[in-house]
Structure 1
Amino acid sequence: MADAEPINWDHLKTRRPSDTDRAALRETLVERALAVKQHGWDNYREAWTPGELAGVAYLLQDSALLEELDEHEGSVLTRFAGALYGFHGARKEIESGLVDTQAWFAAARTELARRSSEADR
């Protein structure tokens, strides 16, 4: 194994998600939250990664699941800052207090509420 090439992560450091990427991530998260609201968590605990579970739980404000996953607001927001803004953008976002990431989740919650009320009609 000593002769193995080191892994180069530079391609991830230069990745800059677009507005389209962020919108697609929001759509996925909202869809998953709607599925959990309809069916509960059991079908998804093994299907989604812990990070995906934490993101949906945070969107749903499910503090019990976040605690079970040993996650808190800061860890979820920091993880999603990377997904939303890329490596360098996330560093700046974290330094600014994750304001844009919090706003992104607030917009996702608004979308979730809108779609939930439509489904209840």
Structure 2
Amino acid sequence: MSDAEPVSWKHLRTRTPSDGDRDALRAELVERAVAVREKGWEAYRSEWSTGELAGVAYLLADAAMLEELEEHEGSVLTRFAGELYGFNGARKDIAAGLVGTQAWFETARTALAARGGADR
């Protein structure tokens, strides 16, 4: 038997990302989407996690990449709800139909379009 303390995830339940955290995540996602537009997916497949790839694919409305990743809108939005609002906030957004997370992605799409990265 190990004397190690059991892992506690309790601290994650109370973590609440700030507006600044959400803005930084949006800026990073938009930058990644611009990079994919310029260089394609191959340059990033091994660099980014599946969740990161799925977020960019969802932002770009790239159904083929989402299918390849075996992701769908609900899985991407649910994953990002946790990133955006923390455990408790994500539960509330999920119960509300992920409207906050969807609005956040719409704002990211607007920022992408302003960068010249709108769907062609």
Shorter-chain TM-score bucket reads: over 0.9
RMSD of aligned alpha carbons: 1.0
- Match of 2:17? 17
How far is 1:5 from its partner? 2.0
Q: Describe the SS at the equivalent of 1:93.
A: helix
Offset of residue 2 of structure 1? 4.5
Tell me the TM-score normalised to structure 2 length.
0.94
Measured against aligned partners, the alpha-carbon deviations of 1:36-85 in whole angstroms (never above 9, x if no partner) come to 00000001000000000000000000000100100000000000000000
Unaligned runs of 5+ in 2: none
The corresponding residue for 1:51 is: 51
How many residues get paired? 117
TM-score by length of 1: 0.93
**Structure 1 residue 100 corresponds to structure 2 residue 93:** no
Distance 1:26 1:101 in 2: 11
Structure 1 segments unaligned to the other structure (5+ residues): none
**Shift of residue 116 of structure 1?**
1.3
TM-superposed CA distance for 1:11, in Å, is 1.1
Q: Which residue of 2 aligns with 1:74?
A: 74
Work out the CA distance in 2 between the residues paired with 1:51 and 1:14.
22
Q: Alignment identity in percent?
A: 69
CA apart distance, 1:4: 3.2
Q: Distance in 1 between matches of 2:64 and 2:4?
A: 43
Equivalence for 1:28: 28
- For residues 20 and 3 of structure 2, what CA distance do their matches in structure 1 show? 40
